[in-house]
Chains A and B, each alone.
Chain A
């Protein structure tokens, strides 16, 4: 029971049963049972995706369905690449995600710094507006921004998907500002005495210190852009320019009788975000803490 000291809750829960060893064991048993059962329910869809992708055709459409493939057919993972420029879709999605994320990280850190550290008239009003736009249902802007991009002749390019993110998306401004607020002001003062102007202060002191927060912005933005469907659906024209999300839907239309290939393609489609998550789990959790708990 050495692990229970974390919050003390478990100890308390157990004490309700009069400190008896039996009741405590029973409670832990029930708890673990619930955690494991829930975990299985949450994990099964992933398992089903994997098991479908490697099953032989004769087995996949059997009823009742079978849980374990009688042999592993990995060649379904090649089908998406044979039918469509699937590798190109990955390149396109990567380009959009990277372009958006870098722009969002730079712009929102500059703006967040300004809101956190510089004093100017209307600053607090503006920050309230930032918070207000965070809770704005963005689809009210769908049609007019489309018109704007028609006028700019940007339809059929990736610009409508990338460039709006270079103008400091509200959520990330909030995140960066909250982060900069935690940097001690003494650092500012010493830099100012050394003759730094606010830009120098941002560039030399705050930006290097904010790498973890920048990581959060990058990861959130990449994930959001990778999973986005509506905006690519509206703005991207021509199959070679498709993102992975659009490609998957196109693929579904052509592969109605090849569930293995469709699930293989879906696995490939979600793999980058899963890999990103495992490598940057710390940032995911950190970002959630900054945005959710202190909000």
Chain B
């Protein structure tokens, strides 16, 4: 915005900053406006992000319920986090959830997007059908799936039961069994693949037809065309999605809280649920803070790993 004239710079909001009666330079004036308009973010960043994150480190040094007791305990909570078997259980559960949901959901979403991109009739109708489950997340969906997973009268076992009967296998008891509770939450997460599908669909639309034509002249089969043209051009979109999915999947909470409360026998105890229990149920806020930092470091580690890997598989050249 170099076009601010000298005369304008002599009056206005920041004219009081003038020194020696000289008019404010246009670039200086523009900078002040820039900070002014960016201030909601700057203030929010300090008050709701940096401040709390540092405070969290410090709170982790105390045994405190924020009301009656505040005792300095040094690094005890941080050491406990590493040795606590319940934290380890939560960590393993969340890791299993993340490492299954992220790759399967990515492939599933990509598959649906490619299918819908084949010029099928009623494309927007099918897009809505696949996307709608992602719009309605939260408690209502958890209640619905709890009902679908009912072992005796639920929908899922009423379909599975007759299919498995010839083999003399009982259908799983889903969220009520220690082995199947976590897989239940994972399967339920696939229902939300539509969010990523919509992103991939938009990405597919952005690939120029000329590239396919060129590949065709070179005699590439449709299989080759997918892996040599479609997939490489889609990698920035896939990458963006995978990173967001990693972060989201490590924060899984609502399903575990509403459907199983972490049970049975801690089979669905997730990190955020455990942090919630530690802080807001048992009032060990210091310990909850220490665990939250632990979770933060882990997620950050995976995100950094993903960013590092990007150079080897994400194609950024745009056509």
Chain A interface (Cβ < 8 Å from any Cβ of B): 1, 3-10, 12-13, 15-16, 31-32, 34-35, 38-39, 42-46, 48-49, 52, 61-65, 107-108, 110-111, 113-115, 117-121, 123, 126, 129-130, 133, 135-148, 150, 164, 166-170, 173, 188-189, 192-193, 195, 197-199, 202, 223, 226-230, 233-234, 245-246, 248-249, 252, 259, 262-263, 266-267, 269-270, 273-274, 277, 281, 284-285, 288-289, 292-293, 295
B199 touches A292 (CB 8 A): yes
Pick the contact of A293 from B49, B191, B199, B289 — CB < 8 Å?
B199
Does B16 belong to the interface (CB within 8 Å)? no
Q: Which 7 A-B pairs have the closest CB atoms?
A: A167-B44, A120-B34, A227-B138, A114-B37, A118-B34, A292-B199, A144-B52
B137 touches A227 (CB 8 A): yes
A48→B119 CA distance, assembly (Å): 30
B30 touches A168 (CB 8 A): no
Nearest residue (CB) in B for A4 is: B119
Could you tell me the distance in whole angstroms from the C-beta of B272 to the nearest C-beta in chain A? Answer: 5
Which B residues touch A32, using CB under 8 A?
Answer: 120
Could you tell me the distance in whole angstroms from the C-beta of A120 to the nearest C-beta in chain B? Answer: 3
Could you tell me the distance in whole angstroms from the C-beta of A227 to the nearest C-beta in chain B? Answer: 4
Which A residues touch B92, using CB under 8 A?
Answer: none
B53 touches A144 (CB 8 A): yes
Chain B interface main SS type: helix
Could you tell me the distance in whole angstroms from the C-beta of A280 to the nearest C-beta in chain B? Answer: 11
B31 touches A120 (CB 8 A): yes
B212 touches A135 (CB 8 A): no
Most chain-B CB neighbours within 10 Å: which of A189, A202, A295? A295
A189→B223 CA distance, assembly (Å): 50
A199→B168 CA distance, assembly (Å): 73
A145 touches B148 (CB 8 A): no
Q: 19 A-B pairs, CB-CB below 8 angstroms?
A: A3-B121, A16-B223, A45-B155, A110-B40, A133-B49, A136-B296, A139-B275, A143-B285, A144-B52, A148-B51, A148-B52, A192-B1, A199-B37, A227-B138, A252-B143, A266-B143, A270-B140, A292-B202, A295-B237
Pick the contact of B144 from A48, A110, A115, A197 — CB < 8 Å?
A48
Could you tell me the distance in whole angstroms from the C-beta of B157 to the nearest C-beta in chain A? Answer: 9
Count: A-B pairs, CB below 8 Å: 323
Nearest residue (CB) in B for A16 is: B222
B135 touches A273 (CB 8 A): yes
Nearest residue (CB) in B for A276 is: B135
Which B residues touch A119, using CB under 8 A?
Answer: 1, 27, 30-31, 34
Nearest residue (CB) in A for B28 is: A120
A198→B9 CA distance, assembly (Å): 12
Which A residues touch B130, using CB under 8 A?
Answer: 38-39, 42
Nearest residue (CB) in B for A65 is: B158
Does B319 belong to the interface (CB within 8 Å)? no
A118 touches B41 (CB 8 A): no
B254 touches A229 (CB 8 A): yes
A9 touches B119 (CB 8 A): yes
A285 touches B202 (CB 8 A): yes
Does B56 belong to the interface (CB within 8 Å)? yes
Could you tell me the distance in whole angstroms from the C-beta of B103 to the nearest C-beta in chain A? Answer: 18
Chain A interface main SS type: helix
The number of chain B residues touching the other chain, given as a range, is 35 or more
Which B residues touch A65, using CB under 8 A?
Answer: 153-155, 158
Nearest residue (CB) in B for A190 is: B3
Given A45-B133, A252-B258, 20 additional A-B pairs, CB 8 A? A7-B117, A7-B119, A7-B205, A13-B222, A61-B153, A62-B153, A64-B162, A65-B158, A120-B30, A120-B35, A123-B38, A133-B49, A136-B296, A138-B251, A140-B296, A142-B292, A147-B55, A148-B52, A167-B41, A292-B241
Nearest residue (CB) in B for A249 is: B139
A117→B4 CA distance, assembly (Å): 13
A259 touches B147 (CB 8 A): yes
Pick the contact of B191 from A42, A110, A189 — CB < 8 Å?
A42
Known A133-B45, A164-B44; contact A111-B37, beta-carbon cutoff 8 A: yes
Does B118 belong to the interface (CB within 8 Å)? yes
Which B residues touch A170, using CB under 8 A?
Answer: 41
Which A residues touch B236, using CB under 8 A?
Answer: 295
A146→B285 CA distance, assembly (Å): 10
Does B87 belong to the interface (CB within 8 Å)? no
A230 touches B272 (CB 8 A): yes
Which A residues touch B21, using CB under 8 A?
Answer: none
A139→B300 CA distance, assembly (Å): 13
Could you tell me the distance in whole angstroms from the C-beta of A23 to the nearest C-beta in chain B? Answer: 12
Which B residues touch A248, using CB under 8 A?
Answer: 139-140, 143
A146→B283 CA distance, assembly (Å): 12
B132 touches A46 (CB 8 A): yes
A169→B206 CA distance, assembly (Å): 28
Which B residues touch A8, using CB under 8 A?
Answer: 209, 212-213
A34→B108 CA distance, assembly (Å): 12
A199→B295 CA distance, assembly (Å): 41
Does B303 belong to the interface (CB within 8 Å)? yes
Nearest residue (CB) in B for A266 is: B140
Which A residues touch B275, using CB under 8 A?
Answer: 139, 142
A202 touches B247 (CB 8 A): no
Known A6-B119, A9-B212, A63-B158; contact A111-B138, beta-carbon cutoff 8 A: no
B37 touches A118 (CB 8 A): yes
Which A residues touch B99, using CB under 8 A?
Answer: none
Could you tell me the distance in whole angstroms from the C-beta of B208 to the nearest C-beta in chain A? Answer: 9
Which B residues touch A42, using CB under 8 A?
Answer: 129-130, 132-133, 191, 194
Which A residues touch B250, using CB under 8 A?
Answer: 137
Which B residues touch A108, using CB under 8 A?
Answer: 41
